[in-house]
Amino acid sequence: MIFDKTIRIPIDRVGSVVGKSGKTKLWIEEKCHVNLDIDSRSGEIHISTDNETSNPLLAVDLIRSIAHGFSKVNASNLLDEDKFLSVIDLTQYYKKSSHSISRIKSRVIGQNGKARKVMEEISNTNISVYGHSISIIGSFEQIKLVENAINLLISGAQHKTAYDLLQKSRTQAKLDRLQLWEDGPVVEN
């Protein structure tokens, strides 16, 4: 499969994509079997490959996740085929109102990062608040739950309401797994 695409990231995140001594760039190239050409002045990253075993779409997601504030460690969760990246663009809610976007980002982060941390722990996801976006790494189901919780916060709900939504879903998932275990096949002696 031949792949040739250029994406643009914020200039202040180029260093994170490159990494110390180019280690993060090399890591993405090796994991995804792609070639990256990074222009640090414009923030453009050219991704190309002519390798049949390459995974350029994973490379795009890894770069996008780092560009949206995730560390390499958190971005590496995307190597799990059941994990995905979701980006909520707050300008879709508030167009260009920087005051409203700052208020929402503050609600999602919480005092000293508590709200974000609690949502991450309950939902078993990674959440990054950067620029005018909120990004989530997790399974499809986990992402939808966190997006619902964030939408509650955006609409003005209390933090407890968002946490309760996540906790109910987590409890239900545990009960569902327990039920599957109890209903498992019966082995006769």
Give residue-wise pLDDT tens across range 129-181: 999 999 999 999 999 999 999 999 988 999 999 999 999 988 887 787 777 66
Binning the chain into helix, strand and coil, the percentages to the nearest 5 are 60, 20, 25
Length of the chain: 189
Domain with CATH 3.30.1370.10 in the chain: 3-79, 84-180
Superfamily of domain 3-79: K Homology domain, type 1 (3.30.1370.10)
Task: State how far the Cα of 133 lies from the Cα of 88, in Å rounded to an integer.
Answer: 5
Task: List the structure tokens of 46.
Answer: 């050219």
Give residue-wise pLDDT tens across range 51-77: 778 899 999 999 999 999 999 999 999
Q: At 55, which amino acid appears?
A: N
Fold annotation for 84-180? Ribosomal Protein S8; Chain: A, domain 1 (3.30.1370)
